Amino acid sequence: MMESVTVGASKKYEVIIGSGILRDCGELISRVKAPCLACIVTDDIVDGLYADTVEESLRSAGFSVVKHVFPNGEQSKCLECYGRLLDVLSAEGVTRTDLIVALGGGVCGDMAGFAAATYLRGMDYVQIPTTFLAAIDSSVGGKTAIDISAGKNLVGAFHQPIEVICDTDTLSTLRPETFADGAAEAIKYGVLSDPEIFDIFSEGRIREELQHVIKRSVEIKSEYVEKDEFDTGLRMYLNLGHTPGHAMEKLSHFSVTHGHAVATGMVMVADISEKLGFCEAGTAERIRQVLLKNQLPISTSFGAAELGEAALTDKKRRGASIRLILPVRIGECMLYETDAEKLPELFAMSEAVEG
């Protein structure tokens, strides 16, 4: 059964979720965009898996199609790769009234979305996420970006897609570690505001409940996006576990993937919250158990001091204070603001860090 969630950002759009809907993407897109020239942007792994289906579907719905394929991996989310994409758009004669179709994981969505935000001062794009993580996080909410040498996502724009199409079948072929990355973000939504999602993961029912969990996760994300599209306040709740998580990613030179880092980050903030007396006793242990059950880590070999130091250069630091999202219980979190210098001391409260 196909379901959809409306994201009521400055531009309203649908996130359509269902099994096998990739082959209908042309028709689904034609509901929001008259046939035009569509440029499929995808990586060299996803290309072989799904680009033909998408291209055929777009053509049968009346779209003309061109395609740009870039090498799979985070290293492609760079200025050079973005520049090459702009050159292709220009060489293919793509105009402002045409369409970009971002087919792939977070790297693809972020870069193609940023090209859509900036090429000819902005054009429409559709997100077709093919990873669990992209389906429930990066494809929804309009954050687009590329990396520069100073850090990840430091150049970007808020630019909402005109539609998101998530074919749940594409997630069944993911490697277990890649699926686990998405599971970590979905568990995050559970800790943030939905005990039912948390229970699904605790009871090992995610494969049976995948579509439901994607829909609920997108609904939760869209509530935050609707209230704070441009990330000036409430949207920071979506960063539960991300302050220590980003520090782990950075210190590991990104060999620790985002979801795995966020998993350990959630354990850390739960430990901190319990020690500070904000959190129901036993919450951190429940988070540890759910992560272990879903092949996710609960500790890091980095120390509190180096993690604190790395987190302080995080772009989310504001002046001399830092904001952490802390669990209160499964399904409820709070904002905790403190001196930035206290971060290593706070991180040291968690058993998830070394020494």
Interface residue list for ligand GLY (CB under 6 A): 137, 141, 143, 231, 235, 238
Least separation in angstroms between CB 291 and ligand GLY: 19
User: At its nearest, how many Å lie between ligand GLY and the CB of residue 144?
Assistant: 10
Q: State the minimum distance, in angstroms, from the CB of residue 132 to ligand GLY.
A: 14
Q: Which is nearer to ligand GLY, 63 or 125 (CB)?
A: 125
What is the b/e burial string over 287-298, where b = at least 16 CB atoms within 10 angstroms of the residue's CB? bbebbeebebbb
The smaller minimum CB distance to ligand GLY, of residues 39 and 108, is found at: 108
Closest CB to ligand GLY among 210 and 238?
Answer: 238
CA distance 142 to 267: 28
The residue among 33 and 235 lying less far from ligand GLY, judged by its C-beta, is: 235
What is the C-alpha to C-alpha distance for residues 136 and 182, in angstroms, rounded to an integer? 8
Q: Is 143 or 288 the residue whose CB approaches ligand GLY more closely? A: 143
Give how far Cα 60 sits from Cα of 40, 63, 83, 164, 275, Å.
15, 7, 30, 19, 59
Name the pairing type of β-strands 143-148 and 151-158. Answer: antiparallel
* DSSP 3-state of 209: coil
Sign of CA dihedral 218, 221, 224, 227: negative
Min separation Cβ 286 and ligand GLY, Å:
23
What's phi and psi for 41, nearest 5 deg? Answer: -115, 125
Q: Copy the structure tokens of residue 255.
A: 């060999």
Minimum distance between the CB of residue 153 and ligand GLY, rounded to whole angstroms? Answer: 9
CB 68 within 8 A of CB 87: no
Q: What SS3 state is found at 91?
A: helix
H/E stretch holding 176 reads helix 176-193
Question: Nearer to ligand GLY by C-beta: 18 or 245?
Answer: 245
Q: Closest distance between ligand GLY and the C-beta of residue 20, in Å?
A: 27
Give strand pairing partners of 323: 337
Measured from the CB atom, the residue of 227 and 342 that comes closer to ligand GLY is 227
Distance CA 255, CA 330 (A): 29
Q: Which of helix, strand or coil describes residue 48?
A: helix
The CB-of-255 to ligand GLY minimum distance in angstroms stands at: 21
Q: CB of 242: closest distance to ligand GLY in angstroms? A: 8
Q: Which two three-digit tokens encode residue 64?
A: 């003309």
Least Cβ distance, residue 217 to ligand GLY (angstroms): 11
Nearer to ligand GLY, 22 or 311 (CB): 311
- What 3-state DSSP class applies to 30? helix
Distance of alpha carbon 188 from alpha carbon 239, whole angstroms:
9
